[in-house]
Amino acid sequence: MDAGEEPMSAFGAVTAQTNKLSRQYQALLDQSTPHTLYRWVGTGVLLVFFFARVFFAQGWYIVAYALGIYLLNLFLAFLQPKFDPSNEALDNDMEDGSLGSLPTKQDEEFRPFIRRLPEFKFWHAATRAISISFVCTWFEVFNVPVFWPVLVMYWIMLFVLTMRKQIQHMIKYRYVPFTVGKARYTKNSS
């Protein structure tokens, strides 16, 4: 051991290992960023495994319900603009031009749709939630006895009402949260 080196404490060793794992996890996330389709397919497969576990184990309905509510919340944040045009507090700032807004008239300048929750963060949060829920199904403490049809009906009602409200908001403020891409023209089109 050199004179300049201090012996590493147990806390220092754990911190160093945690930092190393954190960097490796971030590198894995960075590598997966451009592969949108594969990321969502993997998340869908994980969700199928989760639902198969709940179906075959005949339990953990409250975990599935909580996951459904959380995913609905994420989806709504994904659909909403970052700067809500209906927010009264932001109206004055938008009129001054200090904040971006969505165009409401034909002659207004086009401003791109900026999501409140970007796609990558939506995917990451959804995948983490599904993974945690899957792990929870292996512990009996989370298997709370409930009458699952009530939870399903309540979730469907909640989904319909919140999506109806969101669609009305989109129609009122004339924004579409999805882009179909750039228009492509062929040489033969007239």
Which token pair is 101?
Answer: 């807004």
pLDDT tens for each residue of 95-153: 555 555 555 566 656 566 777 889 999 999 999 999 999 999 999 999 999 999 999 99
* pLDDT score of 91: 52
| Cα–Cα distance, 25 to 23 (Å, whole number) | 5
Q: What is the pTM of this model?
A: 0.74
* pLDDT score of 89: 46
SS (H, E, C) 61-90: HHHHHHHHHHHHHHHHHHHCECCCCCCHHH
Contact 133, 66 (CB under 8 A): yes
Which token pair is 27?
Answer: 């590198």
* pLDDT score of 172: 82
